[in-house]
Amino acid sequence: MMVAAPSVRERKFLPEPVSGVDAEGVFEGYASLFGEADLGKDVVMPGAFRDSLKKRGAAQVRLLWQHDPAQPIGRWLSIAEDLRGLRVRGRLNLAVGRARDIHALMRDGAVDGLSIGFRVERARAERPTGLRRLERLDLWEISVVTFPMLPGARVETVKQAAPKLATHIRSTAVRLFS
């Protein structure tokens, strides 16, 4: 059974086409997808981030460019596990030159990958398949990247709807379907 040493930090990447990033730099997507093997044959299991998110929360997980700790580009507004994977919502800090560059590239669709930086706390290897099941991870950072290790980990949307519009849609839906 092959398990990474607890002190080794790893990075995993994810993609999906960007449908937009708002003018303030807010975007969201999936940084990890449960049950899908990445290009390195790692599979993140549901609940793998639970303890780390309780301990750290979104505020203590860094938003970086290409996993470079010298290039923070914003902050995570929310990070949560759902049935599909690790759903993230972040804001690029447009006062930072690199973040402005990335914002332009994301809006153009040239950059849309997401990748996680973590330390393995518990994993199990599957000899017949060669897969490593990642059961508990200590999440340190999530990066915007050019080439994600997990092809499905990508920025999906850039928030553009005003809060008043969302409220109006909800109230209309309640009236129509109640």
**Active-site residue set:** 67, 115, 141
CA atoms within 13 A on the CB side of 145: 25
User: What backbone phi and psi angles, to 5 degrees, belong to 160?
Assistant: -130, -20
- Residue 100 has which token pair? 């402005």
Write out the H or E segment, with its range, that includes residue 56. Answer: helix 50-56
Exposure b/e, 15-36, CB count within 10 A at least 16 = b: bbebeebbeebbbbbbbbbbeb
Cβ of 128: how many Cβ atoms within 10 Å?
A: 5
Distance CA 153, CA 148 (A): 7
For strand 131-145 and strand 62-65, is the pairing parallel, antiparallel, or unpaired? parallel
